[in-house]
Structure 1
Amino acid sequence: MDIAVDIGYYTYSHTLPKKEVSLTELLKRRELLKSTIRDFFSQLKYTEVDTPILSPYENPDDNVKNVKATFEDFSGTKYSWFLHTSPEFFMKRLLIEGAERIYQICKVFRNGEITELHSVEFTMVEWYRKGADYRVGIEETLSLIRKCGQAFGTKRGFYRGKVADLEEAEILTVDEAFREFADSSVFDEEKLLWLSGEESYESAFFKLLVEKVETGLSNIKKVVVLYDYPKEFGAFSKVRGDVAERFEVYIAGVEIANGYTEMTTYEEYREKFKGNFDRRFLELLKKNPLPNSEGVALGFDRLLMVLTGADRITEVIPFSTEEL
């Protein structure tokens, strides 16, 4: 079976070099991080799972672009599928079918700009826990970061001159962060439009988040947790009033993890899904809602970056896109 992969067209403004670390040492670091993560979840009675990388479905989030993959079966019939951007919906199928605590360490693929923090192919850690909410997800994520720091013999994370204490956390609502760093409540749409010069609430939110809030957060010398996003930016998280039960975790200004209290009903997902979405997942939801659960996705390579002080993602992966 022949498979062709289309990652689109990219231009490189500069070469992204590696630091002088041997391939053997890099492989040892990656193995240490993987084994530490597996030990962490084993102690919490999680089951490691495998789900398909190749799927007929696209990511339903317009902001996440799939890598296309075409293949033929033995009869010559051609298929145009996609490499997954996340194992999310296959893992949620497992939750509906009765799984309770599951995690996965896997390669994922996302089409788009290649940057010092992004690669078309990267490694993700994703986990789900039945009967828990995003508060548990925050606790687990912070505990995992501390454990990984201990395994690497460091209590600090580093990125381009920024330092964060892995043993301490600054936990802020998104509204608190906007008030502190963008001089406005995140719910004051009119003021956000004025401050940003943008024409839509969404554009204003993300511009100020990147230019003001995340810049301010990068100077906090602790692990930072942002939680309770405006409901408009909750993705697939549970909505409570004006906020979505979603969180993101930063170390030294680098976004490391993203988690939710998960939406549970067919109606909620059907409203969010667009285009070529996972119809079988929706069929399962019609029969049984997703159990109340928390879910977290963590960037393995980015975590390794801040643990080892790397400046670029190419420094912590054995073969970058440029080297293929």
Structure 2
Amino acid sequence: MTIDWRPTADIETLRDRARLIAEVRAFFAERGVWEVETPVLGHGGSTDLHLVSLSCEATTPAGRERLWLQTSPEFHMKRLLAAGSGPIFQVARSFRDGEVGGRHNLEFSMLEWYRPGLDLDGLITETDALIRRVLSSDPGSLRRRRYRELFRESLELDPFHEPLEALRRLATERGGLDMAAACRDDCLDLLISLVIEPRLGRGGIDVVVDYPASQAALARRHRDPEDGEWVASRFEVYLDGLELANGYDELTDAEEQRARFKEDNAARRVEGLPEVEADERLLVALEAGMPAGSGVALGLDRLLQLALDKDRVAEVMAFSTPRA
């Protein structure tokens, strides 16, 4: 058997990667945002229904323990915020099981930063500036797109009020899957990924806002001025049909966060998925007091893929998982 030992990316690309990551660090240094490092292994994992955390058994001072490979550095960085760090960023190794393909790798680089005191509009502006700093060409104008309007334009329906049975039929038809028992969010996720996302970020940077409140994750919620519906105070950034970043007006209420962790694990039980230990240290940090502000996670490999005009994220990584 021939074993391919060579890097996934060519050496010149890896040099370009290093140069662009240096630009990222310079961007934050100019803004007084300091770099931190947090653990790859933690005592809590992500309870998110759509993420699959990896874990391992390790010998620690407490004996044999189960530790989780972090799906992002979010929980540890929020503990630093609660301790008074001020604005921080990190280029972090992150892990998500089952995420394989042209846009995914089990292990990847996440660029994550937090801005105490900055509102979501301010963070959108800063995220746009960072993306433009890294890209080699002008991506076009920044456009804010409301989640509901995208569904109305592309599918002629209101995602908040369309009857669930109608959504299931449409998702089954468009996705070629049996969605007869799917929940509303699963139907919406399928439709947006197949019908709407491929069109986003064409000729400009699209920022999608006002997601359903059920998709708030670790973000606050607010009322939609259109009709008073609760919506998530978060955004996602798209360029060339590729999702690049996910930003939140960060939830700081410990009790609300604890309730959401419980809801996630309850949903996991319904789906027959294993429960994930909630990060108790994060909850205690929130109780101690995390300052209000906003934060964003950006897929650094994806941004570098676009900046260096590559077809797959593996082409900007030294060794993707198949060659690791």
The TM-score, its normalising length taken from structure 1, stands at 0.84
Alignment-derived partner of residue 318 in structure 2: 318
Distance in 2 between residues matched to 1:50 and 1:264, nearest whole Å: 22
* Equivalent position SS for 1:65: coil
Q: CA deviation at 1:287?
A: 3.2
Farther-moved stretch of structure 1 (272-281 vs 46-55) = 272-281
Farther-moved stretch of structure 1 (26-35 vs 191-200) = 191-200
Structure 2 gap ranges (5+): 173-178, 224-229, 263-275
CA offset digits 1:58-102 (Å, max 9, x no partner): 112121111222222589x43321111111011111111112210
Conserved 8 A contact 1:58-1:66: yes
Q: Check if 1:181 corresponds to 2:154.
A: yes
Q: How does 1:222-241 map to 2 (within 5 A)?
A: 222-241=204-223
Amino acid paired to 1:313: V
Alignment-derived partner of residue 26 in structure 2: 39
Of 126, 137, 140, the residue aligned with 2:126 is: 140
Distance in 2 between residues matched to 1:175 and 1:73, nearest whole Å: 48
Distance in 2 between residues matched to 1:146 and 1:71, nearest whole Å: 42
Q: CA deviation at 1:271?
A: 0.9
Farther-moved stretch of structure 1 (181-190 vs 236-245) = 181-190
Q: How does 1:111-260 map to 2 (within 5 A)?
A: 111-149=97-135, 153-155=136-138, 166-190=139-163, 191-197=166-172, 198=179, 199=181, 200-217=183-200, 220-241=202-223, 242-260=230-248
Distance in 2 between residues matched to 1:208 and 1:172, nearest whole Å: 16
Q: Check if 1:268 corresponds to 2:256.
A: yes
Of 84, 87, 90, the residue aligned with 1:104 is: 90
* Equivalent position SS for 2:145: strand
Alignment-derived partner of residue 48 in structure 1: 35
Structure 1 gap ranges (5+): 1-14, 156-165
Amino acid paired to 1:192: L
Superposition CA RMSD, Å: 2.1
Q: CA deviation at 1:18?
A: 8.6
Conserved 8 A contact 2:148-2:159: yes
Conserved 8 A contact 1:246-1:259: yes
Conserved 8 A contact 1:181-1:216: no
* Equivalent position SS for 1:128: strand
Farther-moved stretch of structure 1 (188-197 vs 175-184) = 188-197
**Count of residue correspondences:** 291
Q: Larger relative contact order (C-alpha < 8 A, sep ≥ 6)?
A: 2
Distance in 2 between residues matched to 1:302 and 1:192, nearest whole Å: 31
Identity of counterpart residues, as a percentage? 36
Conserved 8 A contact 2:95-2:108: yes
**Measured at CA, do residues 224 and 265 of structure 1 come closer, stay the same or move farther in structure 2, by a change above 3 Å?**
same
Alignment-derived partner of residue 12 in structure 1: none
Runs of 4+ deviating beyond 4 Å: none
